[in-house]
Amino acid sequence: MLSTIARAGSVLGLFTHDRPEWGPREVAARLELPRSTAQELLASLAGIGLLERTDTGRYRLGWRLLALSRTLVHGAGFDGGAGAVLRELAAATGATSRLGVWDGRYVVPVSAVHPEGGVRLPGVGNGGRLPAHSTALGKTILAHRPRGEAVERAHQGFSVFTPHTIHRLDALHAELDRIVRDGVGVDAQETFLGVGCVAAPVRDGSGRVVAAVSVCVADDRLAARRPDLATAVLGAARRLGTVAWDTGPELGPVIRGVVPTLPCPDDPEPPPEDPR
């Protein structure tokens, strides 16, 4: 039973913004499964609404996942007190504010506020997956995770998004040490050119880091505003710590299958095949 559930999770994890449809043969090849097993998994997931079968025999994500993700966000408190804190943060700084959680490899933004005149980050909205090694949200959470996860990230490969992206393990370790020491993470054009972000860790009542909150501005304003932005996100993180967190830091796997991910050059896609 557990192996079947794990396989079903692996199937759902294949669906991304750039690859929204999969056929049984493709799933079998990617997951190294017998084609009959892949077909059975796809059909079973379609039977409970997590996938739907197209007229061509391929599969895409089912709408039930969207309902589950909304239930998750509501139940975890993100659309209540957390939303109010983000709105206050955006109003006070004039910067785009976001709250993100960890999914084991990526950061999943679960709430965001875009004030008038604030930067809009291309490609990924609420629920999209962001890389851990290049974003302020991701590095801030990763800094408070076991360091073995940073090593695993290195083994998976550092996707390079801009000339400023960290792409060596020693540099990532040094950055994570700085975040623990200074209390905030910074993304200075490491994910999107022209955008700078500052983030702080959000802790639950036991002191465990369960999320991170960030503000993003045009990069040419980051250096001058960094101290004030750091103070603002640290204050927001403390207030967010009073939200009734109903879950731990592993929220992402529940919703990561329904949302886009930034392209990762280290995750090559196989060539399309006949789905039947």
At residue 259, the pLDDT reads 33
Residue type, 90: A
At residue 14, the pLDDT reads 86
At residue 149, the pLDDT reads 83
Give the Å distances, CA to CA, from 111 to 74, 76, 197, 253.
11, 12, 16, 16
At residue 257, the pLDDT reads 33
Q: How many beta carbons lie within 10 A of that of residue 148, not counting itself?
A: 8
At residue 92, the pLDDT reads 94
CA 53/CA 32 separation, integer angstroms: 21
CA diameter of the chain? 59
Question: Which DSSP state fits 272?
Answer: P
CA 72/CA 88 separation, integer angstroms: 23
Helix (H) or strand (E) holding 52: strand 51-53
CA 265/CA 257 separation, integer angstroms: 19
Model-level pTM? 0.65
Q: Which two tokens stand for residue 179?
A: 């975040």
At residue 260, the pLDDT reads 35
Give the Å distances, CA to CA, from 268 to 112, 192, 264.
30, 21, 8
At residue 246, the pLDDT reads 45
Question: One digit per residue, pLDDT tens: the chain, 276 residues?
Answer: 546 677 887 888 788 767 889 999 999 999 999 999 999 999 888 888 788 888 888 998 876 665 555 555 554 545 556 788 899 999 999 999 999 888 777 788 888 888 988 887 764 545 567 888 999 999 999 999 988 888 887 777 788 999 999 999 999 999 999 999 999 999 999 999 999 999 999 998 888 898 899 999 999 889 999 999 999 999 999 998 876 454 443 333 333 333 333 333 333 333 334 444
What are the tens digits of pLDDT across the range 48-103?
878 888 888 899 887 666 555 555 555 454 555 678 889 999 999 999 999 988 87
Helix (H) or strand (E) holding 196: strand 195-203
At residue 230, the pLDDT reads 96
Q: Which domains does the chain have, with CATH numbers?
A: 2-62 (1.10.10.10), 68-254 (3.30.450.40)
